[in-house]
Amino acid sequence: DGGITQSPKYLFRKEGQNVTLSCEQNLNHDAMYWYRQDPGQGLRLIYYSQIVNDFQKGDIAEGYSVSREKKESFPLTVTSAQKNPTAFYLCASSMDTANTEAFFGQGTRLTVV
Amino acid sequence: GNSVTQMEGPVTLSEEAFLTINCTYTATGYPSLFWYVQYPGEGLQLLLKATKADDKGSNKGFEATYRKETTSFHLEKGSVQVSDSAVYFCALRERSNDYKLSFGAGTTVTVRA
């Protein structure tokens, strides 16, 4: 089955630790995205990538980092510099055209204690 | 810049009631428009889309028409069910170099039996 997979579904980390969220897709999509969702709020774009080895900051990139070494993979690292990292993180991918929709993973709920 | 404004929720309805969720947008060009649905603890799923003016997207009894003159893409369903309880997001994708998706804040809909 083609799709986009995020892991793990739930993640707990201590304050001050970096943590990496995994996102893999087998849809042969060029573009991949990371969004953050807070309770009762919409989706805010963290980073996006339109092609391997290239990515751009979204609206709330501070305290996050990404890499795009393979077309299939777009991991997100939440660093200790992120002031309020507890949130629901969503990864998405799409063809790089305006007419096509994005496909979303099931999300990772990160809790920092 | 691009933006999407959705009617604020939460919205609570009885089964078989008519549902409308308003969505208006601001864009520099001619975007594609989408409605996504999110069930509790899950990622987003595409509900319907429209890629040009006067297009009507439809799926699972939901409909939305791309109105360029009013920059709107309102979601409607004639008779809701309990299973339609979810968060609904309006989104646009600009025909520009980056094809970024911009989302509204989401509208929580609860349908009671």
Q: How do residues A32-80 score in pLDDT, each as one tens digit? A: 999 999 987 789 999 999 999 999 999 999 999 999 999 999 999 999 9
Residue A5 tokens read as: 């997979």
pLDDT band at B98 (very low <50, low <70, confident <90, very high): low
Q: For residues A3 and A26, is the Cβ–Cβ distance under 8 A?
A: yes
- Tokens 């943590």 sit on residue: A19
Residue A62 forms contact with B (CB below 8 Å) = no
In A, minimum Cα distance to B99 occurs at: A98
What single letter denotes the amino acid at residue A62?
A: E
Minimum distance, in Å, between the CA of residue B51 and any CA atom of chain A: 6
Minimum distance, in Å, between the CA of residue A10 and any CA atom of chain B: 11
Q: Is the pLDDT of residue B67 over 90?
A: yes
Minimum distance, in Å, between the CA of residue A73 and any CA atom of chain B: 18
Q: Closest partner residue to A102 among B101, B106, B108, by Cβ?
A: B101
Q: Kindly determine whether residue B93 and residue A98, on different chains, have CB atoms separated by under 8 Å.
A: yes
Q: Is the pLDDT of residue B84 over 70?
A: yes
pLDDT band at B97 (very low <50, low <70, confident <90, very high): low
A2 vs B56 pLDDT, higher one: B56
Burial of B79 (0-12, 13-18, 19+ CB in 10 A): exposed
DSSP symbols for A58-88: -TT-TTEEE--SBTTB--EEE-TT-S---EE
Residue A101 forms contact with B (CB below 8 Å) = yes
Q: Which of A58, A54, A42, A66 is nearest to B100 (CA)?
A: A58
pLDDT band at B11 (very low <50, low <70, confident <90, very high): very high
C-alpha to C-alpha distance for A75 and A65, rounded to whole angstroms: 9
Residue B57 forms contact with A (CB below 8 Å) = no
Residue B83 phi, psi dihedral angles, 5° rounding: -70, -10
Residue A105 phi, psi dihedral angles, 5° rounding: -80, 180
Q: Which is it for the CA torsion B24, B88, A27, A89, positive or negative?
A: positive
- Residues of chain B positioned with their CB less than 8 A from the CB of A106: 42-43
What single letter denotes the amino acid at residue B17?
A: A
Q: Is the pLDDT of residue A1 over 70?
A: no
User: pLDDT per residue over A68-96, tens digit each?
Assistant: 999 999 999 999 989 899 999 999 999 87
Q: For residues B43 and B64, is the Cβ–Cβ distance under 8 A?
A: no
